[in-house]
Amino acid sequence: MDNKPLAHSAHDGVDSQPYREHVENVIGNKKVKGAVSRAEEAGAFSQKWGSALVTVVRTAASYHDLGKLDDFFQNILQYNRRDSKGFNHCDAGTAFLLRKKILEAALLVYSHHIGFPNMQAERAKNANGRNNLLRDESPFKEQEHYRHTDAHLEIYLKKHSLIFPGHQLALPETPPLFARSNLTRRIALSCLVDADHGDTARHYKKECDIANATPDLLPDKRLATLDAYVAGLAPSEEPADARERERLRIRQDIYATCRDALPADATRIVSCDSPVGTGKTTAVMAHLLRVAAKRGLRRIFVVLPFTNIIDQSVETYRKAVILPGEDPEAVVAAHHHKVEFSGENHATLRLLAQRWEAPIVVTTAVRFFETLAAKDTAALRNFHQISGSAVFIDETHAAMPVPLWPQMWRWIAELCDDWTCHFVLASGSLARFWTLPDFVMPAEQREIPRLVAEEKAAASFDYEKKRVCIKTLQGKKGPLLPRDELAKAVLAKPGPRLVIFNTVQSAAVFAHYLRDKKGENPGLVIEHLSTALSPADRSKTLERVRKRLRNGETNWVLVGTSCVEAGMDFSFHTGFRERASFASLLQVLGRVSRNGEYNDAVVWDFQHDASEYDLLSIHPHFKTSARVVGQLLEKYGAALTPEHCTEALLLEINQGTGDAEKMAREIRTAEDAINFPEVAKLCRLITSETQTVVVNQALIERFESGEKELFPSSREVMLNSVQVWENKLVDLPVKPIGFGRELLGISEGSYDGFLGYMKGLIPIIQGKSRGGWNF
């Protein structure tokens, strides 16, 4: 064997990488920022765990690839051979660290490729005297992996000591333990895998070095820039309209209040239930910058529930907090699957976003919260960036399913208490769930002050009551409206009009029905927006919607699903919301007369008749919450306000099936048992069983050509595909495509830019029904 052992083989025109170089890079040195530097930066914000984090990460980094010194594996690397035996190079470092009783570092080495294990299952491997915790019992050659490792471990260690002479890789005298903090374990693994996987990717030229490309937060300077931006939004002259003057004064008061709010150091979580249209986007950012300056925080996260509202927030921040000479994309990074990067530095900008390196990161609730619960290395790679951060959870009501909040709350509290984070929970329909024992155990409850005190917020809530009101549509024969009666009611109200349904099917059916009836109103325009459309077509629809609103068009209707109800900067004259949850109803209030343009703005709550003839469908998930909305409307009528959100949530819990409480207990039990895979599985924010269907015929033809060089990129596929529930795929005309036939392509004529994939489904659904109109 070559006297210079390798860590990575040569291929694709790139030379091999020596073992010593890779291990030194993963630990860290003057040229490369390694795992230790990442741990030191994260640990600087944790008095409780900082020192232990650095020690554990340094030890794991030193021995993470020890098994690569095996002669069998070196032969594979030296001669670029295939590993036909499935050799596990992680077992050796794990075995050595377990022998030294450095359990936390052993866990990191074990997990740095396959992710965290179920520690219950690992403890079971100690039964019957086997003592095989975290050891690989799979076969290798003629025996189990762990037996091969044990027989050769001293040889590996001798080679290792020759490569690193003089005790450069010293072991801790007192091995630290992270006790019950699985969150700290996730941060530790994040430090290791970011350094390890990053060095490998850079060696093979798959990533660039961004160590010197990250701007600093500079919160004081950015706050001054934000102040100037907000001041510039005010009109040069006082508005003549009294309502507009009131709205402007409220926005200015909210901004000043949030900006000047500096909670005591012990207060690390605050809430903001300021109503829609009061400028939370900039006001909360001002607060976060102020807190960051006072506490020396290094990063700000803005977490939003939907990708379609990330871009508008990013656009605002890139105008509001950028200093002279800065690249806006390097300072405010958008992290979601649809984001595009421009310019010569697009590769660097992509990494700044994906690795959460930028000083301000705007991401989705799915990416943020699933990272907290993650067990896989790819999902955890950027998690160490969270320490010492200020986090703005906007539209908190829509951040995640109810059962996930109890455990997420524990993690949020731990990040604040042990890692110097600061959270703002904000929504115009904020339920104060942390006050309910069903959500938060009494021992874990804490006082969460309002960022805008009640007396200050009173003016904004009074204005909200005057801005728009809630009414309920009644049909001729009762509360359930047939499709034609609902259509007449919608078109009879002043436009522009927004109609939101609970299901993709209902939205598509109603949009097509209205467009089919245009003969009675030749100038009528119908727009449709839901996940039945590909991201590319949704973007086109959104642009048309914004243009119609800017131009003041009135004779048109936007029919959609919940993807248009939260955070979108829309302002319609009249809104209609199929009865779902109280939070959903309140969110639609923010899309109607958003800036107080209309004196007679109404949001109509409605229920439709789900007859087979009408093809409108019912979403089973909203059965309990819709019943609660009806009870609240009957109890409070026009006096129903966002202040009733907590009452609505409590009613949903009490009237529910108990599934939410059961799932919350299961998550807590799995986390306490250190069962990482189960926690990650239970904490998925999106759990629907869907399949990707490509809808662009040009892309489908490129797949069907069979020539791999013509195959579309993953980004092209993402922009031109839809996610379809598996039970709908039975009826949707699709066919396998791709090199391995792993994708599905929709049949020609079964998709368009108006109805999306529902164009192919509605005729089939109609054929199964007892009637309906001619599609």
Q: What tokens were used for 66?
A: 């020890």
Q: What is the pLDDT of residue 352?
A: 44
Rounded CA separation 278/268 (Å) = 23
Residue 129: is its pLDDT beyond 80? no
The residue written with tokens 């000479």 in the block is: 325
- Residue 269 one-letter amino acid: I
Q: What tokens were used for 202?
A: 């850079």
Average of pLDDT values for 235-261? 87
The residue written with tokens 């690193």 in the block is: 164
Residue 673: is its pLDDT beyond 60? yes
Q: What is the pLDDT of residue 519?
A: 64
Q: What tokens were used for 425?
A: 């929970």
Average of pLDDT values for 416-442? 88
Q: What tokens were used for 532?
A: 């039945």
- Residue 381 per-residue DSSP state: T
Average of pLDDT values for 475-499? 93
* pTM across the whole model: 0.88
Which of 191, 192, 472, 419 minimizes the C-alpha distance to 299? 419
Show the CA angle centred on residue 195, arms to residues 289 and 357, nearest 5°. Answer: 20
Buried residues in 73-89 as b, exposed as e (16+ CB within 10 A): bbebbbeeeeeeeebbb
Residue 345: is its pLDDT beyond 60? no
Please indicate whether residue 240 or residue 760 has the higher confidence score (pLDDT).
760
Q: Are 321 and 225 in contact (CB under 8 A)?
A: yes
Rounded CA separation 365/303 (Å) = 5
Per residue in 197-215, pLDDT (tens digit) is: 999 988 988 876 655 668 9
Q: How many CA atoms lie within 13 A of 336 on its CB side?
A: 22
Sorted by sequence, the CB contacts under 8 Å of residue 540 that are 6+ apart come out as 753
Average of pLDDT values for 396-405? 88
- Confidence tier at 84 by pLDDT (50, 70, 90): low
Residue 627: is its pLDDT beyond 90? yes
Rounded CA separation 229/315 (Å) = 13
Q: What is the pLDDT of residue 629?
A: 94
Q: What tokens were used for 160?
A: 């290792």
Buried residues in 424-441 as b, exposed as e (16+ CB within 10 A): bbbbbbbbbbbebeebbe
Residue 514: is its pLDDT beyond 50? yes
- Residue 138 per-residue DSSP state: S
Rounded CA separation 304/368 (Å) = 9
- Confidence tier at 657 by pLDDT (50, 70, 90): confident
Q: What is the pLDDT of residue 467?
A: 86
Comparing 14-18, 172-176, 754-758, which segment has the lowest mean pLDDT?
172-176
Show the CA angle centred on residue 699, arms to residues 695 and 702, nearest 5°. Answer: 145
Q: How far from chain centre, in Å, is Cα 192?
A: 23
Comparing 59-68, 361-370, 605-614, 668-677, which segment has the lowest mean pLDDT?
605-614
Cβ atoms within 10 Å, residue 477: 10
Average of pLDDT values for 558-567? 86
Q: Which of 101-105, 433-437, 449-453 has the highest mean pLDDT?
A: 101-105
- Confidence tier at 341 by pLDDT (50, 70, 90): very low
Q: What is the pLDDT of residue 324?
A: 96
Residue 480: is its pLDDT beyond 70? yes
- Residue 738 per-residue DSSP state: S
Which of 399, 336, 408 minimizes the C-alpha distance to 374? 408
Average of pLDDT values for 163-190? 87
Helices (H) and strands (E) in the chain, counts: 31, 21
Rounded CA separation 75/78 (Å) = 5
Cis peptide before 437 (omega within 30 of 0): no
- Confidence tier at 348 by pLDDT (50, 70, 90): very low
Q: List phi, psi (to 5°) of 721.
A: -135, 165
Whole-number average pLDDT of the chain: 89
Q: What is the pLDDT of residue 412?
A: 97
